């Protein structure tokens, strides 16, 4: 069986986390998310991990070459031999180039870059409608899963708040960053024939079915 080497792209709120969980369960791929990997490298005290720690402890952004080093190191581990699912990497064209070069060196290739698409307005509606209860963190949505008593948790009656991260202006800022950083990557992978688009506004199970069908086709083509 050929390797399944995947990148997951998409705006916040498009369901990347859900699809990543389903894909890793289906195919036993390690889910390699940049933040988690940096934390793990720091805990394992690898050379690069310790370097990343210096920046993180100082509250600074970890430089590109350190992030690249940590991720590429991770792709070389045993559990990533049959494939991987990258999430949050690459974020820049430099990172994409570094990834491409490393895969080529190892005579590996990217299977596909999966883009979960959702318009800004859909993302804003999904995220800014979230409300969380003060007591236990139960999650509601004003439009899709409203509480029975407005402003109060169904389970414990405590008040519902909007997290700062979920405020519309915060979400719009994150989307602006996403578009600036990611749009060049979308073209980059599209030009290389690796981009596959999925409608992130569809129910998660439908999106998942569509991704599986696409991957099955890609693997058939590869094995021909
Ligand atoms: Zn609650």
Task: State pLDDT tens for residues 111-166.
Answer: 999 999 999 999 999 999 999 999 999 999 999 999 999 999 999 999 999 999 99
What pLDDT score does 180 carry?
92
Separation of 143 CA from ligand 1 center, angstroms? 18
Q: Is 174 a catalytic residue?
A: yes
> Mean pLDDT of all residues in the chain?
92
Q: Is the pLDDT of residue 24 over 80?
A: yes
Per-residue pLDDT band for 217 (boundaries 50, 70, 90) equals very high
- Does the annotation count 109 as an active-site position? no
Q: Output the pLDDT for position 224.
A: 63
Query: 178-192, pLDDT tens digit by residue?
Result: 999 888 999 999 999
Q: Residue 39 phi/psi, 5° resolution?
A: -65, -45
Give the residue-averaged pLDDT of 12-28. Answer: 93
Average pLDDT over residues 35-49: 83
Alpha helices in the chain (DSSP H): 16-27, 34-44, 47-57, 64-75, 93-105, 120-128, 168-191, 204-223
Q: Which one from 163, 167, 172, 192 is the annotated catalytic residue?
A: 163
Q: Which long-range contacts (CB under 8 A, 24 or more apart) does 68-74 make?
A: 68/94, 68/95, 68/98, 68/99, 70/37, 70/38, 70/41, 70/46, 71/32, 71/34, 71/37, 71/95, 71/99, 72/98, 72/99, 72/102, 73/41, 73/46, 73/48, 74/30, 74/32, 74/37, 74/41
């Amino acid at each position: 069986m050929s390797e399944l080497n995947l990148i997951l792209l998409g705006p916040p709120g498009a369901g990347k986390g859900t699809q990543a969980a389903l894909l890793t369960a289906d195919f036993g791929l390690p889910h390699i998310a940049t933040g988690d990997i940096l934390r793990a490298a720091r805990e394992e005290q690898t050379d690069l991990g310790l370097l990343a720690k210096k920046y993180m402890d100082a509250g600074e952004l970890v430089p590109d070459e350190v992030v690249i080093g940590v991720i590429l190191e991770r792709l070389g581990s045993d559990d990533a031999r049959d494939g991987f699912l990258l999430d949050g990497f690459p974020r820049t064209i430099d990172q994409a180039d570094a990834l491409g070069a490393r895969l080529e060196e190892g005579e590996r290739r990217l299977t596909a870059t999966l883009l979960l698409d959702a318009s800004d307005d859909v993302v804003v509606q999904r995220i800014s409608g979230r409300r969380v209860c003060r007591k236990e963190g139960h999650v509601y949505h004003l439009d899709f899963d409203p509480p029975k008593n407005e402003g109060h948790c169904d389970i414990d009656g405590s008040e519902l708040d909007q997290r700062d991260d979920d405020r519309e202006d915060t979400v719009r800022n994150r989307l602006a960053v996403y578009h600036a950083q990611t749009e060049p990557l979308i073209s980059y992978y599209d030009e290389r024939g690796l981009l596959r688009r999925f409608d992130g506004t569809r129910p998660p199970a439908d999106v998942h079915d569509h991704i599986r069908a696409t991957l099955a086709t890609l693997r058939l083509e590869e094995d021909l």
